[in-house]
Structure 1
Amino acid sequence: VNVFSCLECLQATSTFHTAAFQSNSNSTCVVRFGRQQYESMHPVLLVRPDGSTINIRYKEPRRIMKMPVDITTLSEEERKIRMRKREPKRAAKQKLDDFEDDFKVDDYSKFWKKK
């Protein structure tokens, strides 16, 4: 896409762009979002480990994505805390209650029908 032809098109169609074109870091061009594939890309907020955020487009509809923290940059205490969180949690052993059963078959055998 030729930038100059795009700007000439904008200047010809819009009365708001009357200033001459200056090539510097503040100039931009309005173009369509070109896609390699026909997938829908969703706007997502990407959170970096230092807390800074970036608006990106991602193939899955999510609101926020967090980048993983590099463990080598953490202090020894923080590293140990994170490693403990990664370990599988042990399920508490369930105590089986033994119910005392005072059921006697002889008490109910009179209700059975004999053929």
Structure 2
Amino acid sequence: MTLRKICTSKRSIYRFHSTACSHNSNRTAIVRFGRQLYERMYPVLLVRADGSTIKIRYKEPKRVLMMPIDITTLSEEQKKARSKRREVKKTVQQSNDDFEDDFKVDDYSKFWKN
């Protein structure tokens, strides 16, 4: 038997797993693609260390971009205040006090039905 007699038509060859991949807009609703490079520049508000603000064009879509503060220019009081704010705050444990009550069932038994 030859190959021509087994495969009677060309369509039977191409039917085997030939489904096309269809991408549509629903795909972007499920997953946000993490891009390494953005094609356009985005308007961003830049906040300087002294508190002044400037509108700039930035490569990533952000609302506010803050410049880091140079610690060497701070005074000793400001350095101590910053380090104190960065310390881990300890939580205060509340003690459960047992209160004694003077509830007596006999005083309220007149309100119950027998």
**TM superposition score normalised by structure 1:** 0.44
**TM superposition score normalised by structure 2:** 0.44
Pick the structure with greater CA Rg: 2
